């Protein structure tokens, strides 16, 4: 069981390391296509980072929830407290450095007026906030439903219900388009246009409220795979002759499950486009399919072949994933205080831009390695 935990840590570490890279190029104008997002439709390796992390959250949840026999007030309160803590950290990261670093109108505004304007235009949602909401929704369903068959039904209900809402309330030019989807309109109605993401040209938040429900589907699929690994390891400990529960058997089942998910996603994409900004149902199954394939490969290397050493850097990063995410955000936002502009040194072409990404990820690893040596693991 220890090594199976390690496989999950390694997958989470690879995800975090890749996140550090794609979020911190030397220049946003010079990026290799696989290291940038696909846009509104489609999926690049970069678009796998976020859902992979949610899948890992679900896998880990299966192990931590194994001590609970049923839904209880204590388990729910722990889930709620952790979700609120992660959400709060995300909001604080959005607000950092907690004051405006430039004047909106230097001629007519006082500092106080500028500060109020700054607060009125800060984004509320974000990556950690989406993780918190998906963790809460997925965790609540896993605790409440318990049985795997019911959890599968809950997963289907999440994806089908979300798709039905998009279709039922979508407007021209289409339910799955940037301008016509209901998810973006709901966030604007709840938070106001000034408090949502504007990177798509119009107010639309890719980490919005409604999309957190299908994102919880990634958590639930991860929970199902984590439960498979946990139950198989227990049975194999009791009966080592069980082929299906052996390390090779588990790897095979995880891998096949991934292929099935990928096939399902391709079929769904005929009607429902694979879209990260919308977090469409096809995107849920497509990304989880790849997550299972990669986890199966890692489990084969670690559990079956005993090949752990090459993955050590990712193990370190995976065991302090939250710290890695927060550190990367704080460091990137702190460049302005020392006058460091990466594009001036690493912005000439894609190769230099990639060099900065690798250097940034290495710095994060070195910091986390120091924490690892001191056995400091930051969790909420």
**Which tens digits make up the pLDDT trace of 292-351?**
999 999 999 998 888 999 999 999 999 999 999 999 999 999 998 998 999 999 999 999
- Give the model's confidence band at 242: pLDDT under 50 very low, under 70 low, under 90 confident, else very high: confident
**pLDDT score recorded for residue 318:** 94
**pLDDT score recorded for residue 1:** 40
Per-residue H/E/C for 227-296: HHHHHHHHHHHHCCCCCCCCHHHHHHHHHHHHHHHHHHHHHHCCCCCCCCCCCCHHHHHHHHHHHHHHHH
**Which tens digits make up the pLDDT trace of 101-116?**
888 877 788 888 899 9
* Start-to-end C-alpha separation, the chain: 23
For the chain, give the number of residues: 380
**Which tens digits make up the pLDDT trace of 123-181?**
999 999 999 999 999 999 999 998 899 999 999 999 999 999 999 999 999 999 999 99
**pLDDT score recorded for residue 3:** 47
Whether residue 293 is contained in a domain is answered as: yes
Using CA atoms, how far residue 363 sits from 10, 138, 349, in Å, is 18, 33, 22
Residue 296: which of 240, 249, 261, 262 has the closest Cα? 249
Whether residue 340 is contained in a domain is answered as: no
pTM of the predicted structure, to 2 decimals: 0.94
**Which tens digits make up the pLDDT trace of 245-278?**
788 999 999 999 999 999 999 999 999 999 999 9
Using CA atoms, how far residue 10 sits from 6, 121, 134, 232, 378, in Å, is 6, 38, 22, 20, 17
- 131 near 53, Cβ under 8 Å? yes
Neighbours of 72 (CB within 10 A): 11
Q: Is the pLDDT of residue 2 over 60?
A: no
Whether residue 147 is contained in a domain is answered as: yes
Please give the average per-residue pLDDT across 370-375, as a whole number. 94
Q: Is the pLDDT of residue 230 over 60?
A: yes
**Domain region containing 202:** 2-20+40-319
Whether residue 214 is contained in a domain is answered as: yes
Report CA torsion sign: 188, 189, 194, 195: negative
The pairs formed by 329-333 with CB atoms below 8 angstroms and a separation of 24 or more are 329/93, 329/96, 330/93, 330/96, 331/360, 331/363, 331/364, 332/23, 332/24, 332/360, 333/96, 333/97
Whether residue 116 is contained in a domain is answered as: yes
Q: How many domains in the chain? A: 1
Whether residue 141 is contained in a domain is answered as: yes
Q: Is the pLDDT of residue 42 over 80?
A: yes
Share of the chain above pLDDT 70, in %: 99
Whether residue 299 is contained in a domain is answered as: yes
Whether residue 328 is contained in a domain is answered as: no
**pLDDT score recorded for residue 74:** 85
């Amino acid at each position: 069981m220890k090594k199976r935990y390690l496989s999950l840590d390694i997958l989470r570490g690879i995800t975090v390391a890749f996140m550090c890279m794609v979020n911190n190029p030397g220049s946003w104008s010079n990026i290799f296509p696989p290291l940038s997002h696909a846009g509104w439709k489609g999926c690049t390796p970069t678009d796998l980072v976020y859902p992979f992390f949610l899948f890992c959250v679900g896998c880990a949840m299966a192990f931590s929830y194994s001590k609970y026999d049923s839904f209880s007030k204590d388990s729910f309160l722990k889930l709620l407290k952790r979700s609120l803590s992660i959400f709060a950290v995300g909001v604080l990261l959005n607000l950092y450095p907690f004051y405006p670093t430039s004047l909106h109108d230097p001629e007519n505004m006082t500092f106080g007026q500028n500060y109020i304007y700054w607060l009125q235009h800060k984004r509320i949602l974000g990556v950690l906030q989406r993780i918190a909401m998906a963790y809460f929704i997925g965790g609540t369903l896993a605790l409440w439903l318990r049985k795997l068959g019911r959890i599968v039904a809950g997963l289907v209900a999440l994806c089908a219900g979300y798709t039905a809402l998009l279709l039922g309330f979508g407007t021209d030019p289409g339910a799955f388009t940037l301008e016509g989807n209901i998810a973006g309109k709901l966030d604007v109605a709840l938070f106001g246009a000034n408090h949502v993401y504007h990177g798509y040209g119009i107010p639309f938040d890719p980490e919005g409220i409604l999309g957190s429900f299908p994102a919880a589907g990634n958590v639930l699929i991860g929970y199902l795979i984590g439960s498979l690994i946990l139950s198989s390891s227990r049975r194999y400990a009791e009966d080592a002759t069980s082929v299906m529960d052996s390390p090779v058997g588990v790897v095979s089942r995880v891998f096949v499950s991934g292929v099935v998910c990928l096939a399902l996603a391709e079929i769904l994409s005929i009607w429902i486009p694979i879209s990260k900004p919308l977090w469409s149902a096809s995107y849920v199954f497509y990304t989880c399919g790849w997550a299972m394939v990669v986890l199966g490969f890692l489990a084969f290397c670690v559990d079956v072949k005993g090949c752990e050493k090459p993955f050590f850097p990712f193990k370190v990063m995976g065991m302090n994933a939250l710290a890695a995410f927060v550190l990367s955000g704080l460091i990137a936002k702190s460049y302005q205080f020392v006058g460091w502009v990466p594009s001036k040194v690493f912005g000439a072409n894609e190769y230099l831009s990639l060099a900065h990404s690798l250097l940034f990820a290495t710095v994060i690893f070195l910091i986390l390695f120091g924490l690892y040596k001191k056995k400091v693991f930051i969790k909420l």
